[in-house]
Chain A
Amino acid sequence: MVEVPPQTCCGQPAFNSGDRRTARDLALQMIEAFERFDYVVVPSGSCGGMIAKHYPELFEDDPGLSVRAQKLAAKTFELVSFLTDVLGIMQVEAKHAGTCTYHDSCSGLRELGIKRQPRQLLGSVEGLEMVELKDSEVCCGFGGTFAVKYGPISDQIVTEKATNVNATGAKTLLAGDLGCLLNIAGKLSRMGSEVEVRHVAEVLADMTDRPAIGKMGAST
């Protein structure tokens, strides 16, 4: 059974801005909302990384809370990793015609070890052809507030990413992190690229009949 309890944010923006107090408050709110479940599944690598890697660190100095944080961390999974690593699903029933390429989001890749799992599942999607993205493991330049605080640098990085995406000739770019998706989609769209950008879950759930990120107005 799947439940979506009332929730807000995992606190990563506060944590990465140096506001440890707010980060702890929000983390505690999350622990309280989620600790009664067997598994917590998160559709974004960076939020998953926050809970699985940084919550324990956040409560290091508080023995009671640190145990609760560690317990929550141990049962929190990024969506695709949950499907493959926990449920053992190796293929999905979905169709998606055309070539796709995949961006390895930093937190998912380096904090949660997500690399082969999405490729495994995407490989089973009917009609889908994967092309690897050059420098797929390089950051897209989002970095939360970095994208607005250091706009010109962020822009250079995402421009390089978008250029690599275009060069694959793929019709669709997939990733497992919302920040990266918004960032790369925004740049591709500004460059006038035709590549559509989707969360990998949209393809795996066979929901690609809905508009891609930033393409909503175009089809309604």
Chain B
Amino acid sequence: MSVHPTSHSFKDNASRAIADGSVPRALKNVRQNFIDKRVKAVDALPEFEALRESAREIKNHTLAHLDLYLERYEQKVKDSGGHVHFAVDSAEARNIVLDICRKVGARTVTKGKSMISEEIGLNGHLEAAGIVPVETDLGEYIIQLRGETPSHIIAPAVHLTKDQIEKDFRRVHTQLDPNRDLTEKRSLLTEARTMLREKFLAADVGITGANFLIAETGSSVIVTNEGNGDLTQILPRVHIVIASIEKVVPTLEDVSQILRVLARSATGQEMSVYTTFSTGPRRATDVDGPEEYHVVLLDNGRSAMLGTEFQDMLRCIRCAACMNHCPVYHQIGGHAYGWIYPGPMGSVLTPSLIGVDKAGHLPNASTFCGRCESVCPMKIPLPKMMRHWREREFERNLNPAVARYGLGFWAFFAKKPWLYNLSTRVAAKAMKLMGRNKGRFQSLPGLGAWTQYRDFAVPEGETFQAQWKKRAGK
């Protein structure tokens, strides 16, 4: 792990985001858009459910034979003249990339959007070695200007409003006309493109992530909407793909199946604007392409998830539908989760990768509303897996003593129907008396965490079971 996690202070992070208010405001502007577009795209494709099912099957099959497909992939990359490097953890992956850059004397590195690069903290590592990394995806470019990490896995700057971005551009692009018009979203993109053009040409190495790695052909696949990925991987002398091991799928046909659910789930597009395949370095007959082609395959805790109750998480294709539909994410944004992966997928994945002792809040901070699972194209049972994390915490005594004590106290009663019945009847009567003529409590001993924000309804004085008995006795 490299980017220093703050998941343990999730509560403070969340409260800060809420108090500041700019993040939920920015998200409010976009979230409905994601949701509406997805519904439209899904409704327009009758076989969407069937495709989901087959996408799930493809990944399940691959994960069951992951070693085999990784070997096959590696062989194919080598056959096409490329190099494959396996990295156990972030540190190893960073060093492999840095080594390659040093060997070719790289000074500037352009980058396509890659969450793995974020996970291993690549930019900081390159900078420390005197190499300039340049993010070329608009969202990544913006957060790089701000020194931030992405707050969303496909829309890294989604926590920012257009006005904030305009300010950043004016602050950094001082060589441009200060009176230029940046009111349109389009003009921001154009300006970023202008700034990036020379970087593309100056770059010695281009680094991209991968949405898929194809075992059958040794290709890597990226989907983008800006075309920046293509320039990143074609123009420089060296192309490095960094990807985690579970990105591999058996065949081209498999990729085309999964692609049909990916863009629809992510942005509501039928296909992303660019779907780009890269296979090995430039061949003698190719008109362009890199001279060297490297793939860095990162494990970083993933292989340890195989065979556990968290294996299903490795089906994830990073479409972000789960966070786009998450009521918790909507209120606090991605940074509150304290590490690279936010929202429901992060709440399952982060504890696997950095340890549940550091990320214990994440699987707990869910209402289990189930909307994430219902939209996940890979049918990943996200709430169920968050519950598994809670079970592990419970087994290891990691949850707060108060919660354990309260639960034990309640369970003691709940296991004895007569006692439970009696005590709920007494409680209902007592609360009725206490709350006489009020109808609601604005504060209640022991329930401060509830009544701080909302009233508590005074019960009618009799439990359902008691009322039923009375009626039956009549």
List residues of chain A with CB under 8 Å of any chain B CB. Answer: 4, 6-9, 11, 13-20, 22, 25-26, 29, 33, 57, 106-107, 110-111, 137-139, 141-158, 182-183, 185-187, 189-190, 210-211, 213-218, 220
- Which residues from chain B contact A22 at a C-beta distance below 8 Å? 407, 411, 414-415
List residues of chain B with CB under 8 Å of any chain A CB. Answer: 11, 14-15, 18, 24, 327-328, 330-332, 364-371, 373-374, 384, 387, 389-395, 399, 403, 407, 410-411, 413-418, 420-421, 432, 435-440, 442, 447, 449-450, 452-461, 464-465, 468-469
CB pair A157 B387 closer than 8 Å: no
Contacts known (A141-B367, A186-B454); A217 close to B435, Cβ less than 8 A = yes
- Which residues from chain B contact A145 at a C-beta distance below 8 Å? 403
CB pair B450 A186 closer than 8 Å: yes
Cα separation A216 to B457 with both chains bound (whole Å): 8
Residue of A20, A182, A186 with most chain B CB atoms under a 10 A cut-off: A186
Cα separation A154 to B309 with both chains bound (whole Å): 28
CB pair A187 B403 closer than 8 Å: no
Contacts known (A26-B411, A106-B369); A156 close to B18, Cβ less than 8 A = yes
Number of A-B contacts (CB under 8 A): 193
Task: Name the distance in Å between A39's Cβ and chain B's nearest Cβ.
Answer: 17
Q: Which 8 A-B pairs have the closest CB atoms?
A: A143-B367, A18-B390, A186-B454, A18-B394, A214-B457, A139-B369, A217-B439, A148-B449
Cα separation A49 to B398 with both chains bound (whole Å): 27
- Which residues from chain A contact B421 at a C-beta distance below 8 Å? 6, 8
Cα separation A126 to B99 with both chains bound (whole Å): 77
CB pair B460 A153 closer than 8 Å: no
Cα separation A196 to B182 with both chains bound (whole Å): 48
Could you list 11 examples of A-B contacts with CB < 8 Å?
A: A6-B418, A22-B407, A110-B369, A138-B327, A143-B368, A152-B453, A156-B18, A186-B455, A189-B457, A210-B460, A217-B440
Q: Which residue from chain A places its CB closest to the CB of B406 in the assembled complex?
A: A145
CB pair B415 A29 closer than 8 Å: yes
Q: Which residue from chain A places its CB closest to the CB of B435 in the assembled complex?
A: A217
Cα separation A51 to B447 with both chains bound (whole Å): 28
CB pair B367 A106 closer than 8 Å: yes
Contacts known (A13-B410, A150-B11, A153-B328); A18 close to B458, Cβ less than 8 A = no
- Which residues from chain B contact A148 at a C-beta distance below 8 Å? 447, 449-450
- Which residues from chain A contact B435 at a C-beta distance below 8 Å? 216-217
Mostly helix, strand, loop or mixed at chain A's interface? helix
Cα separation A142 to B454 with both chains bound (whole Å): 11
- Which residues from chain A contact B436 at a C-beta distance below 8 Å? 217
Contacts known (A18-B391, A29-B415); A141 close to B327, Cβ less than 8 A = yes
Task: Name the distance in Å between A109's Cβ and chain B's nearest Cβ.
Answer: 8
CB pair B393 A18 closer than 8 Å: yes
CB pair A8 B415 closer than 8 Å: yes
CB pair A153 B14 closer than 8 Å: yes
Given contacts A147-B450, A216-B435, 10 further A-B contacts (CB under 8 A): A8-B413, A16-B387, A25-B411, A143-B369, A150-B328, A152-B18, A185-B455, A216-B458, A217-B437, A218-B439
Q: Which residue from chain A places its CB closest to the CB of B332 in the assembled complex?
A: A153
Cα separation A47 to B26 with both chains bound (whole Å): 36
CB pair B439 A149 closer than 8 Å: no
CB pair B407 A214 closer than 8 Å: no
Residue of B331, B407, B420, B464 with most chain A CB atoms under a 10 A cut-off: B331
CB pair A150 B410 closer than 8 Å: no
CB pair B370 A110 closer than 8 Å: yes
- Which residues from chain B contact A15 at a C-beta distance below 8 Å? 387
CB pair A149 B403 closer than 8 Å: yes
Task: Name the distance in Å between A13's Cβ and chain B's nearest Cβ.
Answer: 7
Cα separation A211 to B435 with both chains bound (whole Å): 14
Contacts known (A110-B370, A153-B331, A153-B332); A17 close to B454, Cβ less than 8 A = no
Residue of B373, B387, B413, B468 with most chain A CB atoms under a 10 A cut-off: B387
- Which residues from chain A contact B403 at a C-beta distance below 8 Å? 17, 145, 149
CB pair A185 B457 closer than 8 Å: yes
CB pair B407 A13 closer than 8 Å: yes
CB pair A9 B420 closer than 8 Å: yes
Contacts known (A18-B393, A217-B437, A220-B437); A151 close to B457, Cβ less than 8 A = no
Cα separation A25 to B413 with both chains bound (whole Å): 12
CB pair B331 A157 closer than 8 Å: yes
**Which one of B374, B416, B455 contacts A110 once the chains associate, using CB atoms below 8 Å?**
B374
Task: Name the distance in Å between B250's Cβ and chain A's nearest Cβ.
Answer: 29
- Which residues from chain A contact B14 at a C-beta distance below 8 Å? 150, 152-153
- Which residues from chain A contact B420 at a C-beta distance below 8 Å? 8-9
Task: Name the distance in Å between B392's Cβ and chain A's nearest Cβ.
Answer: 7
Task: Name the distance in Å between A167's Cβ and chain B's nearest Cβ.
Answer: 15
CB pair A216 B460 closer than 8 Å: yes
Residue of B410, B416, B447, B459 with most chain A CB atoms under a 10 A cut-off: B410
Task: Name the distance in Å between B321's Cβ and chain A's nearest Cβ.
Answer: 15
Q: Which residue from chain B places its CB closest to the CB of A210 in the assembled complex?
A: B460
- Which residues from chain A contact B331 at a C-beta distance below 8 Å? 153, 156-157
Cα separation A190 to B241 with both chains bound (whole Å): 54
Task: Name the distance in Å between A195's Cβ and chain B's nearest Cβ.
Answer: 13
Q: Which residue from chain B places its CB closest to the CB of A191 in the assembled complex?
A: B454
CB pair A214 B439 closer than 8 Å: yes
Contacts known (A18-B399, A217-B458); A26 close to B414, Cβ less than 8 A = yes
